[in-house]
Amino acid sequence: MPFAAGVWRLVLALLPALFVAAPAPAAIDHRYALAGDCAGRPATTVRMAKGYCLGLVWQGQGADGPRMPRALLALADGSWLVTDLGGWKAGLGAVWRLSVAADGAVAWRVLVQGLSMPHTVARGPDGRVYVSEMNRILSMDPDAADPAATLTTVIGGLPDNQLHDNRHPLSSFVVDGDGALLVNVGAPTDRCLDENGQPRTDASGACVDDAATAQVRRHAYLGNGRWSEDSTVLAAGLRNSVALVRHPSGTILQAENSVDLDTPEHPYDEINVLRPGGHYGWPYCVDLQTPLPGWDAAIARCAERDRPLALLPPHAAPLDLIYYDGAMFPALRGRLLTTWHGYRRAGGRIVAVETDARGQPLTDIGGHYAIYPRGSLPYPAGAPSVKGKVLTPGWDQIAGRQPRGAPVAMAVAADGSIWVTDDRNRAILRIARPDVATP
């Protein structure tokens, strides 16, 4: 038998054994391991900044509870409302009520089902509860015998941004000082470029300065739980404004999820101070007024766009901003807390940002940002970055112990602890002080 034929026959004989011996790809473990106590809740193994611990309130496995928990609202009786995205398709969303017994046992009750990508849940100027769906804002009474029967549309007709690649269908809102609702309307594309990398010139109007998307709209308050269906544009050129917050001084901050280029080092996400009539660059400009690849500088006119107050790490994907006002962490009082949801190496963090009297973040020049699994990278030369403290420096994936964190929204509990949703790992977590006595 020729040598080559013999070799091939031997290889073919060994193939079954080779396939049996090859290890299967390791599955991603989304469960949080528990070790010790975190002020009355089981402590996760996530490495925290000194003086903080991350406890697990709940992590879903079966049919009970939200599939993709997003926003939180504390109720007067100690229970919580939790919005459930359900999935990236219309009709899968819900609003749940979470109750925690004295012994720590968690109970869920679904209040409303069949919603389309709900996100924000908050109280309005009248004290009622309001929820954002993909294309409308609803009111509801969580204490009614049948909360679903109390659903009422207060603002309808938001763009029905049906999801496909790079769209941003979620609505979110904050209440302004006079009761007006400031509503996020996300961008309909990633960069407004066609398949050849050229600016889109179709009739959709998606890539013009007066487009009806990629903006924050202002709906005037009419009183008694009613808002004007008509709106004005507070600010435009904003790809994704899910993270919005208003400071008592009147400052409106927006955290921008920038375009999704392939490189992990670019472009940078942003913190913007919104001003009436401002345009913050999308889809033309990124970083510090830099034209985005594909857009001619003469069209982009980046020098005419509003410059961000500060850069955030690239692909950090900030999804929430809140000002801490609790009693548990005196050092955090007045600071801006932000969640970085991104799946790339800068994501999976909660950061406490120092602020001035108007609630605007303090900035550094020449700063660095941390990356997983270790190390840091510099911001661009001369670029401002936020001055703050990472509360969750060790929220990376560790096999057999913990998944990479995917924090979405936060809320401050009556005791000053910080509750956090993690939609990718189907969990509700609680940041507390490790030296706080168990109730």
CATH number at residue 403: 2.120.10.30
What residues have CB less than 8 Å from 138, skipping those under 6 apart? 130, 131, 132, 151, 152, 153, 154
Contact predicate 321/270, CB 8 Å:
no
pLDDT for 2 equals 43
In a domain, 178, yes or no: yes
In a domain, 31, yes or no: no
pLDDT for 158 equals 85
Contact predicate 431/420, CB 8 Å:
yes
Contact predicate 96/82, CB 8 Å:
yes
pLDDT for 200 equals 67
User: Does 173 have pLDDT greater than 70?
Assistant: yes
Residue 160, beta-bridge partner list: none
Torsion of CA 397, 317, 89, 203, to 10 degrees: -150
pLDDT band at 162 (very low <50, low <70, confident <90, very high): low
User: Does 84 have pLDDT greater than 50?
Assistant: yes
> What global pTM score does this model have?
0.90
pLDDT for 264 equals 86
Min mean pLDDT across 28-37, 48-57, 216-225, 414-423 is at: 28-37
Look at the alpha carbons of 157, 116, 88, 234 in this order and tell me if their dihedral is positive or negative.
positive
CA 240 to CA 282: how far, in whole Å? Answer: 10
pLDDT in tens, 188-238: 788 787 777 676 655 555 566 667 888 999 999 999 999 999 999 999 999
Mean pLDDT for all residues in the chain: 88
Min mean pLDDT across 10-14, 333-337, 354-358 is at: 10-14
pLDDT for 386 equals 97
Contact predicate 331/353, CB 8 Å:
no
What residues have CB less than 8 Å from 334, skipping those under 6 apart? 323, 324, 325, 355, 359
CA 360 to CA 355: how far, in whole Å? Answer: 5
In a domain, 6, yes or no: no
CA 12 to CA 256: how far, in whole Å? Answer: 55
In a domain, 23, yes or no: no
Q: How many domains does the chain have?
A: 1
In a domain, 25, yes or no: no
Give the burial class of 310: count Cβ atoms within 10 A of its Cβ; 0-12 exposed, 13-18 middle, 19 or more buried.
buried
Longest pairwise C-alpha distance within the chain: 93
Which residue in this structure is represented by tokens 């749940």?
96
In a domain, 13, yes or no: no
**What percent of the chain lies above the pLDDT cut of 90?**
73
Boundaries of domain holding 228 = 37-432
pLDDT band at 14 (very low <50, low <70, confident <90, very high): very low
pLDDT in tens, 308-338: 999 999 999 999 999 999 999 999 999 999 9
Contact predicate 234/174, CB 8 Å:
no
In a domain, 439, yes or no: no
In a domain, 134, yes or no: yes
What residues have CB less than 8 Å from 360, skipping those under 6 apart? 247, 251, 253, 273, 309
What residues have CB less than 8 Å from 173, skipping those under 6 apart? 120, 122, 130, 132, 137, 181, 182, 183, 184, 244
